[in-house]
Structure 1
């Protein structure tokens, strides 16, 4: 289907509801585009927003930063850099800018294009470390308009002219605020390198069918589909995508009385990786324990600090594999839950992700079993992502890659730092996969990065055990 947008650009739109690359995208002319080349070199981005010396507020020390395992300090207030922190970190640490060019009178929303001769990096410290600037987010959460797209086009052009092609430019949207036709127009006209979204779903301990919260899946699926269509809408030049993960307490009307559980926090990292994301940014690392997650009132680290460090560390371990792969398909295996009347009923399915169907060249059957107890022994949701290699990465012919997410997550009933439920182990599932063919199945150990053999029976059946909210990357030869 073809459409004509307001700027006179013509492109093919992806059909709503589909999660697979079209067949024609498998042709050799698929390009290794700028964002995929940069992430191939730098790894997945697992960054966090931190402030700057000008604000006078808390900034993590270099030791804390390294302990957290976050990869990319991202500065969202003037002067968009923290010289003391960056000088104490390893020399090649990537960094980012968000909400540019905000000032004291404008928190984030973009309200102008670049001025003639405007310098993107204006301090000596920024310029001295320009080679490690990885992402630059112009504006934040704007409404769509022709004027906004034109301003973004101008900013992206100036940034690339001054800083070169290794800085990935983007804007950030709230949820799915911009519908798909508008997103395609934005991509084709302004040519961002990265699509990002924010929406913070974990707001209370109210039951939501043992992990069956569909909106986060659909948010990422929306950006995944549009980014795959790419710069021309024909799937030959895809761009990257990612999202902001929740770094503050939930609560209606800014009550800030709910600390997300371990399984919920893990889900915010491993669900995007399963869909092919390259960028997950923690929003945000601040000290105030009445609002934010990483510190107790006495300033010591909360249990969530250690939980998140583990998730980020495991994400980084998967990074050398995932940056060589492009998402191809995403399928949803729907679990069940017990309703208030005691009946066992199916979960809801995300609107924009297809139900699992057998792949004659890959996985032909999936089943799961709750062994952690969070779902009373009943099967929870499972998300299956399949991948193909990017051009020129030296992937072995015939080798397949799959990521299997355990969607059986549960809330934190106590709602405080010392969570009494919702642990990843409580949502642990035994997931049985049947493959159409294959001689050897390998799992990437999320702690070491080593390839570990998974027993593959003559029937093609294999069993893996995954904690709630986490995912395993499997390679089939």
Structure 2
């Protein structure tokens, strides 16, 4: 089970420049003479455009050959249940880091690995043989074309030795498996900002990710969670935008894990809390989510036994999908509706709009209030079942990734489009269903300032691009209104 400490935000505003506590020790130089492939600028853009938005899920492996000694649950994945999820691919985290039986059913599926290279924590650099020949098995190499991400280790304590180990593995993978995005994972605050800057500058990951499971039995009676999530997302977003040297001459992709289990064995998150993981990540510019995890029982040696920790299956038993299966499938489907846009857009700004006193969580650290100097002049939310009250709203702005940053601008019919996202930050620990927390989001746009004449959205319920009808106009500001479920968001496009 992943563990957590409180986020250490004291160091957040420190720069990732060369002088920011970077350990000057260099990795060892006594490696075999093998050419090191230099990281390709903006590679994450190119690969995410190729592979698409990543909606992954930790899945155990059919590891009978290990005689039940794998130290983690092993089973035959319930294929009918997996088909209900809508994830883009499994993340295999236990030995042998692949399910060959899975690919018999899904030969063209994407997949990923965690705790690479050998289903364990980081311990040592690759051997001379691995540096030359790689570390993937014959079974894994059969499906290399669809391997999207490789997470080396998981939640190791920070030390510079681990940074050197990661760099050595990244060098091997980048040379031999060039289409997989490479990363390590920490829980939020596990590594200080200075640690993260050193790691990014030395090891040069393609992707940075973290986990933090916000919802517990011991939280307040109606804990929302958007504010805490926003602070973490902002920090990883800021590190990603700084690039390898902290000078913003390039940038990385980023994302987070999703709370996919009964936390502490007792707390099941609500639909609005689940939706926050999705829409806050997309609004902040993330492009990777990983459901932790597909709990099909807790048996060993292939035997599935009941477990209280599963969300997607009742007691973890195959053939017994829960309402969480429906919720996850819908969130995955809605995310893929906007996925082709999101992987071709880069985040440019994040803003916060406070709700009324009864429901606001307050501004997150480092996230500024909506700036009326942008083309989006006003945003307000009102809860449909309580019209005098409103919850917090989060706003994300985006630019089209240019071709020189390995973007795909020709995907867009009009090069003058502007994009933004709105997310209803109102969630609840008390109300199970997200539609009970629907807000009417009213927003005013200076269309001439945006060089636009009309506003579209990708309807979250249908996936269709629809032109929004203005509900009013004041001076140069044109007003629109949409309804968004609790914890949910939508992508908007302004067009000439």
> Normalised by the shorter chain, which TM-score bucket?
0.7 to 0.9
Query: How many residues are paired up?
Result: 429
Distance 2:195 2:186 in 1: 12
Distance 2:490 2:362 in 1: 23
Contact 2:97/2:118 (CA < 8 Å) preserved in 1? no
Alpha carbons of structure 1 residues 168 and 122: separation in structure 2 relative to 1, 3 Å: closer
Q: Which runs of 4+ in 1 moved over 4 A?
A: 119-122
Alpha carbons of structure 1 residues 352 and 87: separation in structure 2 relative to 1, 3 Å: farther
2:126 is the alignment partner of 1:114: yes
Task: Determine the structure 2 residue equivalent to 1:80.
Answer: 97
Distance 1:82 1:167 in 2: 18
Q: State the shift of 1:84 in Å.
A: 0.7
Alpha carbons of structure 1 residues 372 and 273: separation in structure 2 relative to 1, 3 Å: farther
Contact 1:329/1:387 (CA < 8 Å) preserved in 2? yes
Distance 1:237 1:185 in 2: 16
Contact 1:427/1:467 (CA < 8 Å) preserved in 2? yes
For the residue of structure 1 that corresponds to 2:351, the secondary structure is: strand
2:400 is the alignment partner of 1:400: no
Contact 2:112/2:149 (CA < 8 Å) preserved in 1? yes
Task: Determine the structure 2 residue equivalent to 1:370.
Answer: 383
2:77 is the alignment partner of 1:60: yes
2:166 is the alignment partner of 1:140: no
Distance 2:485 2:369 in 1: 22
Task: Determine the structure 1 residue equivalent to 2:197.
Answer: 184
Q: Deviations over 1:107-151 (max 9, x none)?
A: x43121112212544432211111111100001111221111111
Q: Deviations over 1:221-258 (max 9, x none)?
A: 1111100111232222111000000111123xxxx111
Task: Determine the structure 2 residue equivalent to 1:28.
Answer: none
For the residue of structure 2 that corresponds to 1:214, the secondary structure is: helix
Distance 1:122 1:141 in 2: 22
Q: Deviations over 1:16-65 (max 9, x none)?
A: xxxxxxxxxxxxxxx97111110011110001000111166234333332
For the residue of structure 1 that corresponds to 2:444, the secondary structure is: strand
Distance 2:415 2:262 in 1: 46
Contact 1:211/1:380 (CA < 8 Å) preserved in 2? no
Task: Determine the structure 1 residue equivalent to 2:438.
Answer: 428
Contact 1:121/1:127 (CA < 8 Å) preserved in 2? no
Contact 1:137/1:170 (CA < 8 Å) preserved in 2? yes
Task: Determine the structure 2 residue equivalent to 1:465.
Answer: 483
Contact 1:443/1:472 (CA < 8 Å) preserved in 2? yes
Distance 2:175 2:225 in 1: 45
Provide the TM-score with structure 1 as the length reference: 0.85
**Which runs of 5 or more residues in structure 2 are unaligned?**
1-14, 26-39, 69-73, 298-306, 404-408
For the residue of structure 1 that corresponds to 2:82, the secondary structure is: helix
Distance 1:367 1:32 in 2: 39
Distance 2:186 2:144 in 1: 26
Distance 2:338 2:153 in 1: 30
Task: Determine the structure 2 residue equivalent to 1:15.
Answer: none
**Which runs of 5 or more residues in structure 1 are unaligned?**
10-30, 339-344, 414-420
Distance 1:213 1:389 in 2: 26
Task: Determine the structure 2 residue equivalent to 1:319.
Answer: 339
The aligned runs of 1:69-468 (5 Å cut-off) are 69-89=86-106, 91-102=107-118, 108-118=120-130, 120-164=134-178, 166-204=179-217, 206-207=219-220, 211=224, 213-251=226-264, 256-288=265-297, 289-297=307-315, 299=318, 300-338=320-358, 346-360=360-374, 362-373=375-386, 377-392=388-403, 393-394=409-410, 395=412, 396-411=414-429, 413=430, 421-437=431-447, 438-456=452-470, 457-459=472-474, 460-468=478-486
For the residue of structure 2 that corresponds to 1:350, the secondary structure is: coil
Alpha carbons of structure 1 residues 122 and 182: separation in structure 2 relative to 1, 3 Å: closer
Contact 1:433/1:462 (CA < 8 Å) preserved in 2? yes
For the residue of structure 1 that corresponds to 2:314, the secondary structure is: coil
Distance 1:205 1:472 in 2: 31
Distance 2:118 2:188 in 1: 21
